[in-house]
């Protein structure tokens, strides 16, 4: 068991920070459900983003819209 990797931990594809996805942690809903949807999936997106990056990306998309 790798001590640096907790079960259900995700690595943000943008900043590489470890975070926990509520869905993968077994929660009924994820914290990301409280944020506005990011929109159509980005082809470059490899998975969930950490809370910090998701907020930044949402703000960037809204600024571009």
Nearer to Zn ion, 12 or 20 (CB): 12
State residue 54 phi and psi, 5-degree precision.
-60, -40
User: Of residues 41-60, which lie at the interface with Zn ion (CB under 5 A)?
Assistant: 50, 53
Which of 8, 10, 14, 57 touches Zn ion by CB under 5 A? 14
Enumerate residues 15-44 that contact Zn ion by CB under 5 A.
Answer: 15, 17
**Rounded to an integer, what distance in angstroms lies between the CA atom of residue 37 and that of residue 16?**
21
Q: Which chain residues interact with Zn ion by CB under 5 A?
A: 12, 14-15, 17, 50, 53
């Amino acid at each position: 068991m790798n001590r640096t990797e907790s079960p259900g931990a995700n690595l943000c594809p943008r900043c590489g920070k470890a975070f926990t996805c509520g869905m993968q942690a077994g929660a009924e809903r994820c914290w990301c459900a409280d944020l506005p949807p990011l929109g159509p999936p980005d082809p470059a997106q490899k998975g969930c983003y950490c809370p910090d990056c998701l907020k930044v990306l949402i703000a960037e998309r809204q600024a571009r819209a």
